[in-house]
Amino acid sequence: MNRRQLMLRAMALGLIPSLTGCDYEDPQHPDLADKFLHAMSAWNDRVQAALFDPHTLAPTFRPDQITRPPRFNAFYDISQAPVVDETTYKLELGGQITDKTPWSLTQLRALPQQEQITRLVCVEGWRVIGQWGGVRLSDFLHRVGADTKCRYVSFQCADGYYSSIDMESALHPQTILALTFLGAPLTPAFGAPVRLRIPTKLGFKNPKNLVQLAVTNIYPGGYWEDQGYNWFSGS
Ligand SMILES: Nc1nc2c(c(=O)[nH]1)N[C@H]1C(S)=C(S)[C@@H](COP(=O)(O)O)O[C@H]1N2
Ligand SMILES: [Mo]
């Protein structure tokens, strides 16, 4: 098999996200190759969504397995991480939600909290095990009166990053609005004041430094998703 065939086969198996364009574009039929890869990725999303079992838990780990120090990743250097004023912070709500009153950090901390020691897998090929604590997203969505029949939950970040997930994954018991790492409040680089922690999906589906959460039926895409990374990117 040549590189292109290998790539397409691996994509069909969901082994790699489909990156459109680049060096495996057919120079004779660039549009066709592009359309085909997009169709493959959309099909890949549907297959992954169909295979997703809302009751299967992502693996959890022992405290001694936690990666120290943790590993930072963003589309910029760690020194550029956005610093959000926690005293005036409000998580904004949008879309199909009954009570869109923004939430302060104090209010989020007053909700029941959950801890998890799980693995974060980056599409770049590295993984870390960490301990995150926070509010179960399904509890939060029910609390604010989100229409959980909608297809998507979208997230906007203080650094301009954005992402979105399917509602089934949003309601998964291990999907949390994380407020802590190793029992302490999140630091700016690792997502302060609030990040999404979703161990059933790849790292880039874990937006940090959240400023807004919305519930919608209109496909919201994401920072890497809009550049060709597979949208579902989960198990
Ligand atoms: N706001 C924001 N969130 C983000 C990113 C980013 O650039 N900005 N990068 C994503 C990617 S690609 C990964 S792998 C994880 C890394 O999280 P970590 O720094 O806690 O390891 O954050 C995700 N969330
Ligand atoms: Mo990543």
135-152 tens-digit pLDDT: 999 999 999 999 999 999
Q: Same structural domain for residues 179 and 221? A: yes
Which is more confident, 72 or 2? 72
pLDDT (0 to 100) of residue 20: 46
Ligand 1 pocket, residue 73 CB under 6 Å = yes
Alpha-helical segments (H) within the chain = 3-12, 30-51, 105-110, 137-143, 167-170
Give the integer Cα–Cα distance in Å for 93 and 165: 15
pLDDT (0 to 100) of residue 28: 64
Domain count, the chain: 2
Q: Same structural domain for residues 96 and 204? A: yes
What is the 143 CA–ligand 2 centroid distance (Å)?
A: 30
Give the integer Cα–Cα distance in Å for 177 and 107: 13
pLDDT (0 to 100) of residue 32: 80
Ligand 1 pocket, residue 203 CB under 6 Å = yes
- Two tokens, residue 179: 């407020």
The four Cα atoms 125, 72, 119, 55 give a dihedral, to 10 degrees, of -100
Q: Same structural domain for residues 14 and 87? A: no
- Counting runs of H as helices and runs of E as strands, what totals does the chain give? 5, 9
Which domain range does residue 137 map to?
Answer: 63-227
Ligand 1 pocket, residue 202 CB under 6 Å = no
Q: Same structural domain for residues 46 and 112? A: no
CATH number for the domain including 164?
Answer: 3.90.420.10
DSSP, collapsed to helix, strand or coil, labels residue 180 as strand
In a domain, 158, yes or no: yes
Ligand 1 pocket, residue 171 CB under 6 Å = no
Q: Are 37 and 20 in contact (CB under 8 A)?
A: yes
pLDDT (0 to 100) of residue 21: 43
Q: Same structural domain for residues 83 and 158? A: yes
Indicate the pLDDT class of residue 221, thresholds 50, 70 and 90: very high
In a domain, 107, yes or no: yes
Ligand 1 pocket, residue 132 CB under 6 Å = no
Least confident of 12-16, 90-94, 180-184: 12-16
What is the 82 CA–ligand 1 centroid distance (Å)?
A: 12
The residue among 31, 51, 71 that closes a domain is: 51
Across 1-10, 39-48, 104-113, which has the greatest mean pLDDT? 104-113
Q: Whose CA is nearest to atom 14 of ligand 1?
A: 203
For the cut 90, the answer to whether the pLDDT of residue 71 exceeds it is yes
pLDDT (0 to 100) of residue 228: 94
Q: Same structural domain for residues 84 and 166? A: yes
Pocket probe mutation, ligand 1, options 66, 67, 73, max atoms within 8 Å of Cβ:
73
Distance between the two ends of the chain, CA-based, in angstroms?
Answer: 28
Q: Same structural domain for residues 87 and 126? A: yes
Mean pLDDT (the chain, rounded)? 91
Indicate the pLDDT class of residue 2, thresholds 50, 70 and 90: low
Give the integer Cα–Cα distance in Å for 79 and 146: 36
Ligand 1 pocket, residue 190 CB under 6 Å = yes
Q: Whose CA is nearest to atom 11 of ligand 1?
A: 204
Q: Mean pLDDT, to the nearest integer, of 176-190?
A: 98
What is the 138 CA–ligand 2 centroid distance (Å)?
A: 24
* Chain segment 17-70, per-residue pLDDT in tens: 544 444 455 556 667 877 888 888 888 999 999 999 888 999 999 999 999 999
Name the pTM for this structure: 0.88
Q: Mean pLDDT, to the nearest integer, of 106-125?
A: 97
CA 14 to the chain's CA centroid: 17
In a domain, 178, yes or no: yes
What share of the chain in percent tops pLDDT 90? 77
Q: Whose CA is nearest to atom 24 of ligand 1?
A: 207
Q: Same structural domain for residues 148 and 194? A: yes
Least confident of 47-61, 89-103, 110-124, 216-230: 47-61
Q: Same structural domain for residues 35 and 68? A: no
Phi, psi of 49 (to 5 degrees): -65, -40
CA atoms within 13 A on the CB side of 154: 20
Q: Are 7 and 14 in contact (CB under 8 A)?
A: no
Ligand index nearest the alpha carbon of residue 71 = 1
